[in-house]
Structure 1
Amino acid sequence: MSTPDPQSFANDWVQAWNRHDVEAVLQHFHDDVEFTSPVAAQVLPETGGVVRGKEALRTYWTTALALVPALRFEVVGVYAGQSVLVINYRNERGGLVNEVLIFDGDQVREGHGTYGPVSRPASPR
């Protein structure tokens, strides 16, 4: 399987996040997506850090954005693999984060937010 054009996808992704447009970000995700994040475990402890389904992902991201109104991402690098994109970005606190996205066709089936120790507490992704 192939991935979408890495740079175009990353540009759309970061622009949507910087507008705080959760619906635009969600357009890239399958309805039955699974997303893991240590921040999800903090924002929605009942998830244990694993968010299943687009509706649950919407709830997570909407809740997280309310907690971080200054959210802003800057893409540092984009890496493509076979059906995988990794978006390396700097968050509003200056922390580096990797978003690992596994595709099924042109939509994300599985995603993983990965954080360094400085980024983890205040980033909603």
Structure 2
Amino acid sequence: MDLEQARAFAAEWAAGWNAHDLDRIMRHFADGVVFRSPLAARVVPGSDGVVRGKEALRAYWAEGLRRNPELRFEILGVYAGVDAVVINYRHQTGWEVCEVLAVEDGLVVSGWGAYGPAPA
């Protein structure tokens, strides 16, 4: 993935989240996706922060959208790697986050949410 492709992906990804459009968000993820996040450990009982499969990821994020009706992401930076994109963003609380997403055949197959210090 080159930087132009990564930026286009990130813009569409953020637009889906900001519209609270789960179908738009999920179209970028493979059926067998594995996603890791410290927030998932709190939201998905027994997950230890690892969500496996597209339908489980959809359920996790649906709950996140339900719990956060004011959710909004502002992209701060986008980085391209070999078959990967990193999106650095700030959400509505001011918390900075990075999503590291591994991509195969145009779909995210694994991802990690990494959180900076909680806002004061």
Query: Which TM-score band (shorter chain)?
Result: over 0.9
Tell me if the contact between 2:96 and 2:117 (Cα under 8 Å) persists in the aligned partners: no
Count of residues in Structure 1 that have an aligned counterpart in Structure 2: 118
Summarize the alignment of residues 86-101 of structure 1 with structure 2, pairs less than 5 Å apart.
86-101=86-101
Confirm or deny that 1:10 pairs with 2:10. yes
Deviations 1:43-76 (A, max 9, x none): 1122110000000000000011111111000000
Tell me which residue corresponds to 2:55: 55
Q: When the two structures are superposed, what TM-score results if normalisation uses the length of structure 1?
A: 0.90
What's 2:118 paired with?
Answer: 118
Specify every segment of 5 or more residues in structure 2 that has no aligned partner in the other structure, as ranges: none
Map Cα deviations across residues 78-106 of structure 1 (whole Å, 9 max, x no partner): 00010010000001101110000001110
CA distance in 2, matches of 1:51, 1:22: 16
Q: TM-score, normalised by structure 2?
A: 0.94
Identical positions, percent: 48
Q: What CA distance in whole angstroms lies between the structure 1 residues aligned with 2:81 and 2:32?
A: 22
Q: Residue 37 in 1 paired to residue 34 in 2?
A: no
**Runs of 4+ residues deviating >4 angstroms:** none
Q: Once superposed, what is the RMSD of the aligned Cα atoms?
A: 1.3
AA aligned to 1:9 is: F
